[in-house]
Amino acid sequence: MNPTITSIGILTSGGDAPGMNAAIRAIVRTAIYFDIKVFGIKHGYHGLIHNQIERMRSHDVAAIIQRGGTILKTARSKEFMTDEGMQIAYNNIKNQGIDALVVIGGDGSFRGATEFAKKFGIHIVGLPGTIDNDIYGTDVTIGYDTALNTIIDAVDKIRDTASSHDRMFFIEVMGRDAGFLTLRAGIACGAEAILIPEVDSDINKFIEFLENGFRRKKSSNIILVAEGEKAGGAFEVVKKLQPYLTGYDVRVSILGHIQRGGSPTAYDRYIATKMGTEAVKALLQGNTGIMIGIQNDKTIYVPLEKAIKIHKTIDTSELEIINIMNV
């Protein structure tokens, strides 16, 4: 046990993700279990600067495990990235006697946390919370599984109408910089093709598909397009493909922010609780500057510097599965 940790602050930052509440609940209750004071910081780093810091008790996290979003709310704060902002944030947490922070968010949130830790010697543990699953060092992020299930549910519904009308649908899936959601959802909903930012030649391959009489094989087609696809999203892809789409009855559907909401799946509740518990234990054992990841179903400690700097790569062999399934 690290006797210097007597009080922990929790914040959620960046885009919200289903399962963040389950993680907050786990951190609060684990801290209380080990006789550590715990504080919730509202609106991420913004709340740290504006002193939106409140003591949390066990009942504050009752009945939140099943709720989407984050009860602590979230924000993106430019102010925190300034020397002045960080100094105010530090003064606020010192006044509350907080000596460690658990930050739930994506790599941008971890970047802020790492800077802050370097400057002021605050103990920091990160939990990967983003639907995009684009954080190095963990097989999965909190919210990814729920978002996948939401996407699949939506695509199944679109498939019904697509096949009734013999239409081709280009469905845009979230993922500003990464195609993890698109790839896995594509496999799970039986998409005819996917377009993701990680694969440059995607569009050309897709044109080949079309030229090879792709249409004749199927009455309806579902093409998933990652938001971050290089052409610039589903509408742009359709514009680019226009000359090759004659004869197809094409529709575009943008799934949008429904992908970020909703009650977390069993798996997201499970990993969030496991990671939240581990975050507190890690701090109490003297760890700092780490992210709790999940690898092969076990929690692991990943240096935050690595989680920030190393780019998580897509398993491109999974792309072949999509092609095989469309034989």
Active-site residues, by number, are 132
Stretch that binds ligand F6P, among 90-98, 111-119, 168-176, 207-215 (CB under 6 A): 168-176
CB of 132 to ligand F6P, least distance (A): 5
Nearer to ligand F6P, 99 or 227 (CB): 227
Contact string (CB under 6 A) for ligand F6P, positions 72-111, x = contact? ----------------------------------------
Stretch that binds ligand F6P, among 126-134, 153-161, 202-210, 229-237 (CB under 6 A): 126-134
Q: Buried (b) or exposed (e) across 294-324, using 16+ Cβ within 10 A?
A: beeeebebbebeebbeeebebeeeebeebee
Strands 193-195 and 168-173: unpaired
CA quadruple 98, 99, 104, 110: dihedral positive or negative? positive
CB of 105 to ligand F6P, least distance (A): 9
Q: Return the structure tokens found at 160.
A: 């019904």
CB 68 within 8 A of CB 18: yes
Contact string (CB under 6 A) for ligand F6P, positions 2-21, x = contact? -------------x------
Nearer to ligand F6P, 36 or 237 (CB): 237
Size of the site for ligand F6P (CB under 6 A): 9
Nearer to ligand F6P, 150 or 287 (CB): 150
CB of 137 to ligand F6P, least distance (A): 18
**Of 13, 70, 77, 130, which lies in the binding site for ligand F6P, with binding defined by CB under 6 A?**
130
Q: How many CB atoms lie within 10 A of CB 62?
A: 10
Q: Where are the beta strands (DSSP E) in the chain?
A: 7-12, 37-41, 53-55, 100-105, 123-128, 168-173, 193-195, 221-226, 250-254, 290-295, 298-303
How far is Cα 8 from Cα 11, in angstroms, rounded to an integer?
10
CB of 175 to ligand F6P, least distance (A): 5
Stretch that binds ligand F6P, among 25-33, 80-88, 127-135, 236-244 (CB under 6 A): 127-135
Nearer to ligand F6P, 56 or 199 (CB): 199
**Of 89, 151, 174, 271, which lies in the binding site for ligand F6P, with binding defined by CB under 6 A?**
174
Contact string (CB under 6 A) for ligand F6P, positions 243-272, x = contact? -----------------x------------
Please give the residues from 207 up to 236 whose contact with ligand F6P meets the rule CB under 6 A: 227
Q: Residue 11 half-sphere exposure, CB side, CA atoms within 13 Å?
A: 31
Nearer to ligand F6P, 117 or 131 (CB): 131
Question: Which amino acid makes up residue 89?
Answer: A
CB 250 within 8 A of CB 238: yes
The reply to whether 278 sits near ligand F6P by the rule CB under 6 A is no
- Looking at the chain, the number of H-run helices and the number of E-run strands are 12, 11
The reply to whether 175 sits near ligand F6P by the rule CB under 6 A is yes
Order of strands, sheet of 168-173, starting from the edge strand that comes earlier in the sequence: 193-195, 221-226, 168-173, 250-254
The reply to whether 176 sits near ligand F6P by the rule CB under 6 A is yes
Q: Which residues bind ligand F6P (CB under 6 A)?
A: 15, 130-132, 174-176, 227, 260
